[in-house]
Structure 1
Amino acid sequence: MSINKESDLAANLQIGPTTLGMVRIYIEGDGVDLPLDFDPDEALEIADELRAAAEAARKMAK
């Protein structure tokens, strides 16, 4: 699967802090149980990338 390929797959996404001071992105779906832990600086970089992608998608939709 690539970034531009549509899919019928569904998953739950949870994001929050852990007791160890990390930021966890937790993905759960059919046959998938994927906890991803990032230090706070990495999490902020991901947030910046997500915001940039959202802004680019908004421009493409116009």
Structure 2
Amino acid sequence: MGINSERDVEANLQIGPTDKGMVRIFVEAQGVEIPMDFEPDEAEEIAEEIRSAAKAAQSIKK
């Protein structure tokens, strides 16, 4: 499965701080829970990657 492979899977996504000062991305789909914890600076890098991908997607869509 790659980034362009479509799947008919419904998932829930939650993002927030933990009580240990980490940033958690929590994905739940089909009974599987995936908690991913990141240092705040790693979370900033991920946020920048998401912003860059959104910008690239907007230029493709136009």
Percent of aligned pairs with the same amino acid: 61
Structure 1 segments of 4 or more deviating over 4 A? none
> Normalised by the size of structure 2, how large is the TM-score?
0.97
Q: Deviations over 1:31-52 (max 9, x none)?
A: 3200000000000000000000
Q: How many residues align?
A: 62
- Any idea what SS the aligned residue of 1:25 has? strand
Rounded Cα–Cα distance in structure 2 between residues aligned with 1:10 and 1:59: 26
SS at match of 2:5: coil
| Runs of 5+ unmatched residues, structure 1 | none
Task: Give the Å deviation of 1:19.
Answer: 0.3
- Partners of 2:10 and 2:50 lie apart in 1 by 19
Q: Which runs of 5+ in 2 are unaligned?
A: none
